[in-house]
Amino acid sequence: KNEVEQSPQNLTAQEGEFITINCSYSVGISALHWLQQHPGGGIVSLFMLSSGKKKHGRLIATINIQEKHSSLHITASHPRDSAVYICALNTGNQFYFGTGTSLTVIP
């Protein structure tokens, strides 16, 4: 049973394109995290959401608690955005991770 489902699994975009990565989940959460994993393996936290919408630079994350769905948007994508983007749930006593979306942005 997968508590977290991400789509798409893989995504290739041209530089400048608007990108959307989706995350659906099936459990109650206290927070949802979007993480970025670089090709070298390091993990960076992008957002922590419990409701609504957050924006950092070209990144926007939204969450709909009723629909158990979150999206990560990247505006004006750039090759340096190429990475694996991971949706992770904090249920209050457990953490569940999605399998990640591998994004490649082509110049």
Partner 1 sequence: EPEVTQTPSHQVTQMGQEVILRCVPISNHLYFYWYRQILGQKVEFLVSFYNNEISEKSEIFDDQFSVERPDGSNFTLKIRSTKLEDSAMYFCASSGQISSYEQYFGPGTRLTVT
The one-letter amino acid at 45? S
Least distance (Å) between residue 54 CB and partner 1: 11
The CA-CA-CA angle for residues 65, 82, 75, to 5°, reads 55
Cα–Cα distance, 56 to 3 (Å, whole number): 27
Going by their DSSP bridges, the two strands 83-90 and 95-97 should be labelled as antiparallel
Nearer to partner 1, 83 or 100 (CB): 100
Least distance (Å) between residue 100 CB and partner 1: 7
Least distance (Å) between residue 107 CB and partner 1: 27
Under the rule (CB under 8 A), what is the footprint of partner 1?
A: 30-31, 33, 35, 41-45, 47-48, 50, 86, 88, 90, 92-100
